[in-house]
């Protein structure tokens, strides 16, 4: 993990770059918390309620 932490710290920010680093993690004492703290967090939560959940499920189907 120290190697990963060092590599991420070396990445230079460039607003015009097409480079994106996507990482996922679960709580772990071995994963450097600084990486998570310096990252942009994205979450995907299911819709609340059965009706909205079913509506979201049906919208994934193609009408072909």
Contact 50, 58 (CB under 8 A): no
Q: What is the pLDDT of residues 12-64, one digit of tens each?
A: 878 788 888 777 777 778 777 787 787 777 777 776 788 887 887 777 777 66
Contact 22, 52 (CB under 8 A): no
pLDDT value for 15: 79
pLDDT value for 63: 67
**pTM of the entire predicted model:** 0.37
- With the C-alpha atoms ordered 19, 24, 25, 30, is the resulting torsion angle positive or negative? negative
C-alpha count within 13 angstroms, C-beta hemisphere, residue 9: 9
């Amino acid at each position: 993990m120290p190697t990963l932490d060092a590599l991420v710290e070396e990445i230079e920010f460039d607003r015009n770059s097409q480079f994106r680093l996507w990482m996922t993690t679960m709580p772990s004492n071995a994963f450097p918390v600084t990486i998570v703290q310096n990252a942009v967090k994205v979450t995907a939560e299911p819709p609340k309620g059965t009706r909205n959940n079913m509506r979201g499920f049906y919208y994934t189907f193609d009408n072909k």
